Structure formats: C-alpha cells, structure tokens
Amino acid sequence: MKKETWKELTIGTINPNAGNSVQNHTGTWRSGTKPEFIEEHCIHCFFCWLYCPHFAVVIDGDKVKGFNYDYCTGCGLCAEECPTKEKSIIMVKENVQLAGGGEE
C-alpha cells in the first residue's frame, strides 16, 4: 500500500476512507507461534471467537471454521479460553519473516 506524503493527507487527521483498518494486517505482528484448529474436538461454543481481540476467528453460521492469519497476532487467548477437555486450539511454532506493520 502506497503511503501518502504529508501534502497528500486530508487536513485535521481526517481519514476519508472510513473502515480502512481492514487494510492493517495485524497478522504481521505474530512472532513465532500461531493457533491451530483441531476440528474434531470442537464443540462450537464460540469462546475463541468471543475472546479474539482481532476478529481473526473465522465462523460460518453456527460453526467455527478456523483462523484468518492475516489478522491473527498469535496472542494465544483463543487456545487459553478453549474449554474442551482435549483442546480444540493449540499454539504451534511457525517460521516467520518479520514484516512492517500495516503493509499489504
């Protein structure tokens, strides 16, 4: 995404593109771990969806489907809150390439 120069910005910090935070891929903040979804253990309680601070849990109707890694920061709250006896979400290691925040 090309970033505006100071002359190109709208005055007064006005952001004319309301809702463009979707362009900010917070998934680039992940540093080494990501959640993995184990569907056969899942009771679809939606706790993970409710606790995720970045709306990165993907659902379809009444079913949990997994994660949108473009926005998942790897914080692990979903795995922590997952209530099933055998966890439906576990944190696994991943190899990451560091990238600047907000880049597409």
Partner 1 sequence: MSVQKTLNGNQTIAEAVRQIDPDVMAAYPITPSTAIVETIAQFKADGLISGEYVCPESEHSAMSVCIGAASAGGRVMTATASQGLALMWEMLYIAAGLRLPIVASIVNRALAAPISIHGDHSDTMGARDAGWIQIYSENCQEAYDNFIQAFRIGENLDVRTPVMVGLDGFIISHSMEVVKTEDDAAVKKFVGEYQSVYPLLDTSKTFTVGPIDFTDYYFEHKRNQMEGIENAPKVILDVGKEFGETFGREYGFFEEYRMDDAEICIIVMSSAAGTCKDAVDELRDAGINIGLLKPRVFRPFPHHEIAEALRGKKAVAVLDRCASPGAFGAPLFTEVRSALYDLEDRPKIVNYVYGLGGRDIQIEHFKDVAKKLARIAETGKVEEIYGYINLRE
* Residue ranges binding partner 1 (CB under 8 A): 3-7, 9-19, 100-102
| Residue nearer to partner 1 on the CB measure, 26 or 88 | 26
| Residue nearer to partner 1 on the CB measure, 15 or 84 | 15
Closest to 72 in 3D by CA, of 32, 29, 38: 29
- Look up residue 17 and give its two tokens: 């593109």
What secondary structure letter does DSSP report for 2?
P
Closest contact distance (angstroms) between CB of 104 and partner 1 is 13
| Residue nearer to partner 1 on the CB measure, 16 or 61 | 16
